[in-house]
Amino acid sequence: MNSKVKRMISIAVAAAAAVSLIGGCAAGGQNNKADDGKTKISIYGWPDKNANPEGYESAEARRVRFMELNPDIDVQGDQYQFAIDSFSPKAEGGTLPTLYNTFLTEMKNIGKMGYAKPLTQILRDNGYYDMYNESLIDMVSYEGEMYGVLKNVYTMGLIVNLDLFEKAGLMNEDGSPMVPDTFDDVEKFAKIIKEKTGVAGYVQATTSNAGGWTFMPLAWSYGTEFMKENNGKWEATFNSPECKSALEYLKKLKWEDKVMPDETLLDSNGVIRLISTGQAAMTILHPDSAIILRTNGMDINKIGMFKIPAGPARRVTLMGGGVEAVAANADDAQANACLKWMAFNGYSPSLTEEQKANIEEDYKLKVSKGDLIGIKDLSIWNDKSDTEQYTNEMIDKYCNVDPSHVASYNDKSGVEYRAEEPKSAQELYAALDRCIQEVLTNENADCGEVLKKAAEDFQNDYLNN
């Protein structure tokens, strides 16, 4: 996933002030006791007092309340947020917060490198393990051991500007939007929108890894397999007829249908800008991107979120998410304290009244900021948990848009979910960025030759290393 977009993914509020750590990640351990003998933990993502005074005050109030309920725990905060370039030095130096965040794509490597504390037994002891959505456990595990916990999950869909849909006559009599069921339908809708409004019917990200990232569901839907493992070695397999057809689909939208914008070099923020300002009607992104459209002044009642369209081979979408992990040099008492902090903030398969109040407080804050409420994404819990049920109750209670605008996305039937590719995902996205740029800037580009070179370079530069 595009690293800029990943940073947009909302992570639950964490807690405050840097903790002193001793030694490296493998050797030594955290200074796990405060002067008064309490278990000491630091939590990532604490708001900056000067830059975000409102967030800081809210987090401080929550921190104080938590310590009143857990007098044996001393919570301090840390402003650190995961970033690829800063993580390894902090992990090697043993200076990560006790509880830190990361990306789903990084979790297996973090476990392999020993940068996180094994959590399987602690999660079992606290009654969490058997409540997880079983299909998601492997994504935060390495060699059968859980090293992180999924905090939230996103799945990609089709974001649309409903104002343009309305102007193009793509709304039903009851006011609900017409929904393109297949990528062929997307093409038909895009052509209608361009004909009726003069505006680009579809926009594709092309830079900052966002092009490759958002291309995945389209390519998978055509039957593309990007890589396979054979006797411990990975082989790039996307120089294929299926991937060629997916790339030719984008080329056709650009050069034959002429339904894409003139501006071609776009990251996710650029795509969001075009959608929110009425310069494009449809794109593939995840729900957080739909939510932040209003930051560009877009009326939330003009935002639509649909399930991923079906392709010739399948209806499949990309799944990612935010993960939290415990520093490798933390002890069991600190790990349990971190789990208590997470539960206090609503991360638990079962909820106390205090936790319910905190979740509802978060939704009230979102409403006050004008965030779009109504989208329901995939659950990290199984159907034995009441957490997802309560969260959905809050979404329904505070929904501030016409439910029909997001009903398609909220309906998960028929959708297959896939995690990001297992090896060098970011580098793969960058390689696909270049392929997409080539076919959208060069009308004479040969999609097969473009993919052949990209697959060879990706194999030699990354999979062979």
For residue 128, the Cα-to-chain-centroid distance in whole angstroms is 22
- Give buried/exposed letters for 384-409 (b at 16+ CB in 10 A, else e): ebbbbebbeebbeebbebbebbbbbb
C-alpha dihedral, 446 to 447 to 452 to 455, nearest 10°: 150
| CA neighbours closer than 13 Å in the CB half-sphere of residue 433 | 21
Closest by alpha carbon to 205, among 305, 137, 283?
A: 283
Given a contact cutoff of 8 angstroms between Cβ atoms, the answer to whether 25 and 329 are in contact is: yes
Q: Per the structure block, which two tokens stand in for 101?
A: 């965040």
Q: What is the pLDDT along the chain (465 residues), one digit of tens a residue?
A: 444 443 333 333 233 222 222 223 333 345 667 678 899 999 999 999 999 999 999 999 999 999 999 999 999 999 999 988 899 999 999 999 999 999 887 888 899 999 999 999 999 999 999 999 888 898 899 999 999 998 888 899 999 999 999 999 999 999 999 999 999 999 999 999 999 999 999 999 999 999 999 999 999 999 999 999 999 899 999 999 999 999 999 999 999 999 999 999 999 999 999 999 999 999 999 988 877 777 678 999 999 999 999 999 999 999 988 899 999 999 999 999 999 999 998 888 888 888 888 889 989 988 998 889 999 988 899 877 888 889 889 999 999 999 999 999 999 999 999 988 988 888 999 999 999 999 999 999 999 999 999 999 999 999 998
Model pTM score: 0.80
Q: What are φ and ψ of residue 454, in 5° steps?
A: -60, -40
DSSP 262-280: S-----HHHHHHHHHTTSB
Q: HEC profile for 318-371? A: EEEEEEEEEECCCCHHHHHHHHHHHHHCCCCCCCCHHHHHHHHHHHHHHHHHCC
Helix-, strand-, coil-residue percentages of the chain, each rounded to 5 = 45, 15, 40
The residues that bridge with 145 in the sheet, in sequence order, are: 142
Separation of alpha carbons 20 and 22, rounded Å: 7
CA torsion sign for 253, 259, 262, 268 is: negative
pLDDT at 163: 97
Q: Per the structure block, which two tokens stand in for 122?
A: 């602690």
Given a contact cutoff of 8 angstroms between Cβ atoms, the answer to whether 170 and 302 are in contact is: no
